Amino acid sequence: MLPRYLSRRLVLASQSPRRIELLRLTGLSFLQKDPQIDESKQTGESPKSYAQRLAREKATAVMKRQNDDSIVLAADTIVVHNDAILGKPSSAVHAEQMLSRLQGKTHKVVTAIALARTKSGEMTEESCSTYVRVRQFSHQGRRDYIASGDPLDKSGSYGIQNPQFRPATTLGGCLANVIGLPLCHVSLALSDLGMPPSTDVPQACQVHTGYDCPVYQDILAR
């Protein structure tokens, strides 16, 4: 008889290519569904509460469309600078404004994740924060990066993993979190729901990102 978790589906409530790529490192097969929710911030909502609410709402939206025994994984990643959320830029000019604001300074990237069981409605939540210091770059270097199109679909107007632009000088914490999915936190939550990854996730993540992670042992030892 197959282990019970093998009869369940894992559903990623996201169309993000970066989250898809990271989740594959768990060795688990999964489906993808677009949660299609309103991501407007509510009045008086703190950045962390905003991310947590969106992760819950994404998981709930997809869970309601599943009619089998599934685990739905949703995430929301935000860039926070001076308690303000820097979302995806609305234009090239907006991207340049955000990059100018962040360069030479340290900000925080927060990812909230929510996992929901379709049968019971049970929900598990996790969150991860990483501090990022952005390097100084020339006006032309910033313009060239924006012209590449890479920052236009990313919160804070940068891709941490971009090998040409290399936006960060210092990283305090989980790199996968900044990319969009903190895999050790995901692994813990999936294991709690009876669907443990089939790979050595920290090893797979470090090989994939080329980042010698200083925090994975502390996260997994909780």
Q: Which domains does the chain have, with CATH numbers?
A: 4-220 (3.90.950.10)
Supply the pLDDT for residue 7: 56
Whether the CB-CB separation of 126 and 177 falls below 8 Å is answered with no
Indicate yes or no: pTM above 0.95: no
Question: Of 202, 199, 189, 177, whose CA–CA distance to 77 is shortest?
Answer: 177
Q: Is 94 in a helix, a strand, or coil?
A: helix
Query: DSSP 3-state assignment of 57?
Result: helix
pLDDT at 121: 87
Residue pair 89/95 in contact (Cβ under 8 Å)? The answer is yes
* Residue 76 falls in the annotated catalytic set: yes
Residue 175: other Cβ atoms inside 10 A: 24
Active-site residue, from 34, 68, 76, 144 = 76
pLDDT score, position 222:
79
Q: What is the pLDDT along the chain (222 residues), one digit of tens a residue?
A: 334 444 579 999 999 999 999 999 999 999 999 999 999 999 999 999 999 999 999 999 999 999 889 999 999 999 999 999 999 999 999 999 999 999 999 999 999 999 999 988 889 999 999 999 999 999 999 999 999 999 999 999 999 999 999 999 999 999 999 999 999 999 999 999 999 999 999 999 999 999 999 999 999 997
DSSP string, 16-51: -HHHHHHHGGGT---EE-------PPPTT--HHHHH
Q: Which residues contact 37 (CB under 8 A, 6 or more apart)?
A: 54, 57, 58, 61
